Amino acid sequence: MSADRDIDGWLAERGVTLMDARVRARGVLEEAGLTRPGKARMSEPKLMRAAEVLTERFFQVCADPACLQVATASGREPLRVEPRTHCARCGGSANRRAEVAFLEVCRSLDVRRVVVVGGSPAVREELETKLGNHIQLRMVDGTERRTSDRAKSDLEWADLVLVWGATELHHKVSGHYTHGPPAHHHKVVHVVRRGVAALLDEAMIHLQRAAVR
């Protein structure tokens, strides 16, 4: 015989812990003929099908407004989950939410080329990994010598330049970008807060303000 499991416990493992969400999920499983009202357990083979049904029907989402907006636009029914690690958009990570939102803003405003000046090697690697397949990135080591000609080339190439002043960044490097040709000042953002989420939040604020000017 196949083993069976407690349905509510199985839903909780998937982040469906809120009462309204649990009732809605069970209702869909009952509509699919996988369980019935009052039944507490389900066989493992049926649980595999139940997982497919829930994925097809619902977009699991946390309470973040940006995540809810994406869930609503997905064509699937939003289903609130807790903890946030079960959110299909952000996975509960502030960095991940910021990365996804930043890419969405870049797509909407046709921003394709971004230069990041500063940041630790680990953070630069993270940005390359998370963003590099979606936009073109140039990562500038803020501790290494950068000539004015190379900085000028970066400024001419980029749609957006993020100068990350709260990180490993020498003034001789940052100055090439923050005091570069006036024609490029509109694309340079000086970020004074630490963290990937803060960097990308500042970038989005700049882009959205520029878009309405």
pLDDT at residue 210 in the model: 82
pLDDT at residue 2 in the model: 55
What CA–CA distance (Å, rounded) separates 81 from 84?
A: 7
Burial of 33 (0-12, 13-18, 19+ CB in 10 A): exposed
Taking CA atoms, 195 is separated from 127, 140, 200, in Å, by 11, 17, 9
pLDDT at residue 134 in the model: 95
Per-residue pLDDT tens digits for 9-67: 999 999 999 999 999 999 999 999 999 999 999 999 999 999 999 999 999 999 988 88
- Residue 86 has which token pair? 């079960």
pLDDT at residue 213 in the model: 64
Segment 118-133 mean pLDDT: 92
pLDDT at residue 211 in the model: 78
Per-residue pLDDT tens digits for 167-202: 778 888 889 998 888 888 899 999 988 889 999 999
Segment 115-125 mean pLDDT: 92
Residue ranges per structural domain of the chain = 4-86, 94-211
In this model, does residue 111 exceed pLDDT 80? yes
Q: What percent of the chain shows pLDDT beyond 90?
A: 69
CATH 3.20.20.70 fits 94-211, yes or no: no
